[in-house]
Amino acid sequence: MYRTFGAAILAAVVAVPAFAQDKPSNTECIAPAAPGGGWDFICRTVAKVLRNEDLIDGTMQVTNMTGGGGGVAYAHVVSKRNEDEKLLIAASNGTTTRLAQGAFPGADEDDVRWLASFGAEYGVIAVAADSEIDDLPELVEKMKADPRSVSFAGGSAVGGYDHLKILKLAKVAELEDVRQVKYVAFSGGGEAMTQVLGGSITAFSGDFSEVRGFVEAGDIRIVAVLSPERLAQFDQYPTAIEQGYDVTGPNWRGLYVPKGISDETYESWNQMIQKMVASEEFQKIRADQGIEPLDLFGADAEEFVKENVAEIRALSKEIGLIQ
C-alpha cells in the first residue's frame, strides 16, 4: 500500500506542468508599438515588478513590435507563437478598438486568451507648452471654424481609440461633419508627441502616462483630461466636462496570452499577475501614473474584453467608421 501511495504522489507531481512548479524563465512581453507609448509602459512595468517581486526567474525581455495599430503583434502571436507559454502581450482599448473595427485581417477577439485588466487610464488632450491655444474651448472653436486647420496626433491607428476620443469631442462640439477632423496616426505616443513638440501637429490625443514626463519637463501642456472628475493625485488638470464638453475616454490596461497555451499555464499566469497587482510597488506605480484600479483576471477579464469590443463596435458604427 505504501508503494501504491508513493507512486500516486509521484504521478501527481509529474502531471503538474513545469511552468506551474517553478518560476518561469526566459519570459517575454511584447509591446505592440515603439518605445515610449502606453503598451511599452505596460510591458516595462510588468517586467520590472515581476522581477522585483521574485515571481519570475531572471529578467523578462521586452520586445517592441510596431505596425498596424497592434495588428502586426497580434498576427505574430496567433500565427507563430500560439503555444508559447512564456509570452505576455500588452493590451488596451487600442487592441479592442482595432478588433471591433475588423482592422486585424482574418482575426477576432477569440483568437487569443485575455488574461488581465489592471487599470483604467483616462485620455488627455494636450498641446505644446508654447502653443497659442490656452484651453479646450479655444481648441474646439478653432476646430469648428476650420476643421482642417487643426491636426491631432496619436499613438493608435486611424479609427483607433486615440482617434475615437477626438471624434467623440467633435460630435459633442456639434461639428457638421466629424470626419473632417484631421488625425495623424503614429506607431506610439512618444513618436506622436515628438511631432506636436516640433510644431507640425496642433495637439496630442493619448493617455495620461504618455504625457506625464513631457508635462513635468515643461514641454507639453494638458488642456483637458477625459475623466468624469479631476484625477485625485493630479487635480491641477481640468476635465473636458468642466469646460463644457461631456466627453470621457477611459483606456483599460492589461495583457493577453496565446490561445494555445494550457489551462494550467494560463492559471499560473493568472495567479502570478494577481500577486504582481497586489504588490506595493505596482500599486504605487499605478497611482503615480494617474491610473485608476480596474482589476479583472481570468474569466472576468475575458468577459470584460468581449463587452468592450461590442461597445466600441457600436460606437464606431454610430460615428460612421464602419458599416
Own/partner long-range contacts of 53-56 (Cβ < 8 Å, ≥24 apart): 53/275, 53/276, 53/279, 53/281, 54/23, 55/23, 55/272, 55/275, 55/276, 56/23, 56/24, 56/25, 56/27, 56/272
According to DSSP, residue 59 is labeled: P
Q: Indicate the residue among 249, 284, 307 that finishes a domain.
A: 249
Q: What is the pLDDT of residue 70?
A: 92
Do residue 127 and residue 30 come from a single domain? no
Q: For 273-299, how does the pLDDT look when each residue is reduced to its tens digit (9 = 90+)?
A: 999 999 999 999 998 887 888 899 999
Interatomic CA distance for residues 89 and 75, integer angstroms: 12
Q: Supply the pLDDT for residue 242.
A: 98
Residues 130 and 40 in one domain: no
- Chain CA centroid to CA 175, Å: 28
Q: State the residue for C-alpha cell 478653432.
A: 142
| Domain shared by 139 and 217, yes or no | yes
Q: Are residues 180 and 244 in the same domain?
A: yes
Residue that finishes a domain, picked among 202, 218, 249? 249
**How many domains, in total, are found in the chain?**
2
pLDDT at 52: 98
Whole-number Å distance between alpha carbons of 77 and 268: 19
Question: Cα–Cα distances in Å, from 155 out to 50, 190, 224?
Answer: 26, 8, 18
> Percentage of the chain surpassing pLDDT 90?
69
Question: Regarding predicted confidence, which is higher, 232 or 226?
Answer: 226
Segment 122-181, tens digit of pLDDT: 999 999 999 999 999 999 999 999 988 999 999 887 888 899 899 989 989 998 888 888
What is the b/e burial string over 172-184, where b = at least 16 CB atoms within 10 angstroms of the residue's CB? bbebeebeebebb
- The pLDDT value given to residue 3: 39
Q: How confident is the model at residue 19 (pLDDT cuts 50, 70, 90)?
A: low
Domain carrying residue 299: 2-121+251-319
Domain check: are 130 and 106 in the same one?
no
* Residue written as grid cell 503555444: 83
pTM comes to 0.73
Mean pLDDT for the stretch of residues 208-235: 91
Mean pLDDT of 187-195: 89
Looking at the fold, whether 127 and 245 belong to one and the same domain comes out as: yes
163 and 188 in a single domain? The answer is yes
